[in-house]
Structure 1
Amino acid sequence: MTSSRNRTGLFAAFASLGVTAAFIPAVLPSAERMLSAELSAAVPALFAGLLVGVLLSGPLLVRRPARVTLILGSALQAVALVAAAWAGDPALFIAAAALAGLGFGLVEAAGSVAAKAAATGSATGLLSALMGTVAVCAALTPLAVAAGAAAMPVLSILAVVPLGTIALLAGGHEPSASASDAPARREVRALLPLLPFAIALPLYVGVETVLSGWSAVIPARALTLDPAAAALGTSAFWALMAVGRFGAAGLRRRAVSPSAILAVGTIGAACLMTAAGLLVNDAPAGALVALAASVVLLAPSYGLILGLALDRLDAARSAAVTGTLVACGAVGGTFVPSLVLLIGRDPASSTTLIVSAALCAVVPVLVLIAARARQRTSTTN
């Protein structure tokens, strides 16, 4: 497989992540109407599958090339999209959501390892562009769902995206990890510098999940919008994410430090979310503008945090620990919104937004700790 085809396949794999991330939430109202059932459990099922996928990715990536895991995860996503579109009962739909999450987790972890191998120099620039691709596809998917919601089986056409990934990656060749890599994977003390990133990832993913998971609910409650109009908030969220992620990729090409992009973005986003929390009751339109700006600033954070962590590892260690790092993020996506909702009670409440801002503000502190620890290590060596 040529380098060009490998890179195209990598972008196709991340495009499939965007489709999967947006499809299940976007199709829920139509599926509930068609099946005359409550399907809210599909969202936690999606996250549960994601967590299982990233945990399984570790052993797979150690023993097999990343391409194999990418193909497996893409196949699971394709099957899940078709199954969800054709589901005839609630249990099948929820099972399809879990299967979609499983495939998502495998592709996300394997894609991050592949990006580390494909990047020239730091992985942060390529990961920012790949995460931008996720955002673009996630922004477009709800529009496709809205157009085909009246005939849900038609939506199975979205499976063409992960199937295209398989077509691009099939037949390629890539060296797998060798037995000599095993000692490196067992150097636990060498992985301790990654601890700040392992804490920063769930905090960031949790805050992003608050904004994305309630991207329709917040404007609906703040402005008393019709549910159909409020649903466009999900597309708006992912469009803003695309702007932020591709903007960060452009800054990386101009040699702007990933730590600087991350620090400025997360600090700025925390300030804007705090402002949104203070404005949401008296000036809800202004609060939504502040939230929109915070999404743009937050958007590159995941790729930058993960890329900075992987830049501290060689290829063998990257394969061994990427699944663990991504799993940390998945845990945050599950538990942080629950904690925020427990404290704030309402997704659109002032408390919810201010607590999310406080969690976001911890991220640059952790990155600074990691940067100083690396400087001390370099000085010592």
Structure 2
Amino acid sequence: MTARTRRARAGLFTAFAGLGVTAAFVPAVLPSTERAMATDLSAAVPALFGGLLVGVLSSGPLLMRRPPRTTLMLGSALQAVAIIAVAVADAPAMFIAAAAVAGFGFGLVEASGSVAAKSVAAGSATGLLSALLGTVAVCAAVTPLLVAVGSGTRPLLGILAIVPLLALAMLAGPAAPTSPAETPAHRDVRGLLALLPFAVALPLYVGVETVLSGWSAVIPERILAVDPGLAALGTSAFWTLMAVGRFSAAGLRRLSVPPIVILVSATGAAAVLMATAGILVESAPEVALGGLAAVVVLLAPSYGLILGLALDRLDPARSAAVTGALVACGAVGGTFVPTVILLIGRDPASSATFLVSAGLCALIPVLMLVAARSPRRASVR
């Protein structure tokens, strides 16, 4: 491995570390910011994922004209600016706008990072991508701890922008030699017709996950009436539980448990537990919160399993093109599901929020069973 390739890998890991900071920072800082501004900022979560959707969609034209490193640098720079803006925001509009910009930068890095990983991986990119996603989870789990410590001096939390800034500095060095793998395949959206169950399941899953991750600090604060600074630990707990779920599913896969079995059983059980939490949230809030913790563990591996099962049904030559469209489908769910739930339940911690989420979650195993009955491999032309 050359020095340039090593630097490119290091820059990629730092960029994904920035994703972890961004993913956790906005949800973790919500309770203390709401208290400081004396207003409801729940709309910041759909704004964050709305920006992510725009970033994912914008990455296509950028990647067709520029190497992935350029898009990675732009996304990292936007995240750094947004983190500082979130930390110093003194008005709801500024806070929500900064969340949207953070999501936009996140989407650019998420999409271009997957393409860049192919060019710096030794052999298959699977192992490298797994390590990158692990980096996201670790940084996302640590960030709320820092937010909890600095909740009384929110502007100082802008120092977290140092992570995407470090990524920007590392990516700005000499570029690693380019290879054909760096050139993204043209997206063939028609390929989604053969993958309709997966294209529907992804936004449902991402939407439900967004409800739990985006309001991971707000939900325990409102259910248990805890201090907003302490509530930031809810985001750390969320990402820790996500890591537990992902590693547990990986262990089951090593034991040769079929992915469809893991996916259907886990999402089905999660739907039941989430509905139970919706019923008990007012009468037994502690039990409801414990149920939601179990839901996070059960749902954690779903994204990778749904996407992996979809790609198993594709001609390998076309999988890269369709992956981008599937990621965009997921981002749509992360934007619109929390928005719809806010319109219905008005409160992220309401019974209606969890019951609607349970209903959406219950559709996922049905869609996966339908997909399992379809032909094993679909050729996209």
Give me the TM-score of the superposition, normalised by structure 1: 0.82
State the partner residue of 1:268: 269
Map 1:213-362 to 2 at 5 A. 213-253=214-254, 255-313=256-314, 317-362=318-363
**Alignment partner, residue 208 of structure 1:** 209
* Paired AA for residue 361 in structure 2: C
Q: Structure 1 199/119 Cα, relative in aligned 2: closer, same or farther at 3 Å?
A: farther
Q: Is the contact between residue 27 and residue 215 of structure 2 (CA under 8 Å) also seen in structure 1?
A: no
- How far 1:294 sits from its partner (Å)? 1.1
Q: Equivalent residue of 1:348, what SS?
A: coil
Task: Give me the whole-angstrom Cα distance separating, in 2, the residues matched to 1:167 and 1:250.
Answer: 36
Q: Deviations over 1:308-349 (max 9, x none)?
A: 334555677455444432222222122212333444454334
State the 1:307 CA deviation.
3.4
Change (3 A) 1:180 1:364: closer
- Aligned in 2, Cα 1:328/1:224: closer, same or farther, shift over 3 Å? same
Partner of 1:139 in structure 2? 141
**Contact kept? 1:128, 1:245, Cα under 8 Å:** no
Amino acid of the structure 1 residue aligned with 2:293: A
8 Å contact from structure 2 (residues 341, 356) kept in 1? yes
1:27-42 matches, within 5 Å, as 27-31=29-33, 42=44
Query: How far apart, CA to CA, are the structure 1 residues paired with 2:211 and 2:367?
Result: 20
Question: Which stretch shows the higher mean deviation, 204-213 or 81-90?
Answer: 81-90
CA deviation profile, 1:142-194 (whole Å, cap 9, x unmatched): 22123234444432321222233334544223335799965xx45x5444223
Q: Answer whether contact 1:129 1:245 (CA < 8 A) is retained.
A: no
Alpha-carbon deviation of 1:211? Answer: 1.6
**C-alpha contact 1:73 1:107 (8 A) present in aligned 2:** yes
**CA 1:372–1:312: 2 relative to 1, 3 Å:** same
Q: Label 1:258 to 1:75 Cα distance change in 2 as closer, same or farther (>3 A).
A: farther
Distance 1:63 1:195, change over 3 A: farther
Distance 1:34 1:232 in 2: 18
Query: Partner residue of 1:175?
Result: 179
Comparing 306-315 with 320-329, greater Cα deviation is found at 306-315
Moved more, 212-221 or 282-291: 212-221
The 3-state SS of whatever aligns with 1:173 is coil
Distance 1:324 1:189 in 2: 10
- The alpha carbon displacement at 1:55 in A equals 0.7
User: 1:183-224: CA deviations, max 9, x gaps?
Assistant: xx45x5444223222211110011112222332333334334
Structure-2 change in CA distance of 1:108 and 1:376 (3 Å)? closer
Report what 1:49 is aligned to: 51
Q: Give the number of aligned pairs.
A: 374
Structure 1, unpaired ranges of 5+: none
Matched with 1:106 is: 108
Q: 2 CA distance for matches of 1:95 and 1:352?
A: 24
Partner of 2:160: 158
Once the two structures are superposed, residues 16-70 of structure 1 have per-residue CA deviations (whole angstroms, 9 ceiling, x without a partner) of 1111112123334555677788765544432332121011012223344434322
- CA gap of 1:163–1:335, structure 2 versus 1, over 3 A, is same
Q: Separation in 2 of the partners of 1:84 and 1:244? A: 30
Whether contact under 8 Å (1:51, 1:102) holds in the other structure is yes
Q: Distance in 2 between matches of 1:10 and 1:254?
A: 31
Contact persistence 1:109–1:322 (CA under 8 A):
no
The residue identity in structure 2 corresponding to 1:172 is A
Contact 1:127 1:303 in 2 (8 A): no
Q: Is the 8 A contact 2:148 2:233 kept in 1?
A: no
* Residue aligned with 1:146, SS: helix
Residue type of the partner of 2:63?
L
Corresponding residue for 1:73? 75
Would you say the 8 A contact 1:25–1:43 is kept in 2? yes
Unaligned runs of 5+ in 2: none
Distance in 1, Cα, partners of 2:104 & 2:11? 19
Please, what is the CA RMSD of the aligned residues?
A: 3.5
Determine the C-alpha separation between the residues in 2 that align with 1:350 and 1:40: 16
Letter matched to residue 175 of structure 1: S
Counterparts in 2 of 1:243 and 1:264: CA distance versus 1, 3 Å: same
Comparing 92-101 with 114-123, greater Cα deviation is found at 114-123
CA 1:62–1:313: 2 relative to 1, 3 Å:
farther
Does the 8 A contact of 2:79 with 2:164 survive in 1? Answer: yes
Query: Which segment is superposed worse, 135-144 or 289-298?
Result: 135-144
Corresponding position of 2:15: 13
Report the alpha carbon displacement of residue 3 of structure 1 after superposing the two structures with TM: 5.9
